[in-house]
Structures are given as structure tokens and as C-alpha cells.
Amino acid sequence: MKISARNILKGTIVEIVKGATTSHVRIDTGGSVVTASITNEAVADLKLEKGKQAYAVIKASDVMVGID
């Protein structure tokens, strides 16, 4: 897979919560869990399911930094 996004996190799908049109896909990246909001159609097309490996691909024009 070659894409232009610089932030690619490999992990395992731990949960998929389907709504009326959109699903929340939770991916454990090895200690942190990233949640993606994608269409139900995309979940079906990619054949996503709990336990399957997947990538969280993050493409953003802005990244914020926070501290405690």
C-alpha cells in the first residue's frame, strides 16, 4: 500500500459499532486505541471485522499538541 498520508498506524480491530449510516471502528495500535468514523458501506467493502488487522491512516492539515 502506497499513500501520501504520513501517519499510518497498524493495529487490530477491537470493536465496530454500526449506526444508521456510519460505523465507529476502534483499532488497537499497541497500547492506544484509535477510533475512525466511516460509512457502513466502507465497513462492508473492506470486510472489516473484530480481530482483523487494519491501518488507521491519519491525514490532517493541522496537528495540535497538548500538555497536562
Model confidence pLDDT, tens digit, residues 32-67: 999 999 999 999 999 999 999 999 998 877 777 899
The pTM (predicted TM-score) of the whole model is: 0.84
- Residue 5 grid coordinates: 498520508
Tell me the residue type at 23.
S
Predicted local confidence at residue 15, as pLDDT: 98
From residue 20, give the alpha-carbon distance in Å to each of 38, 49, 51, 66. 12, 18, 23, 33
Give the torsion sign (CA, 8, 23, 43, 25). positive
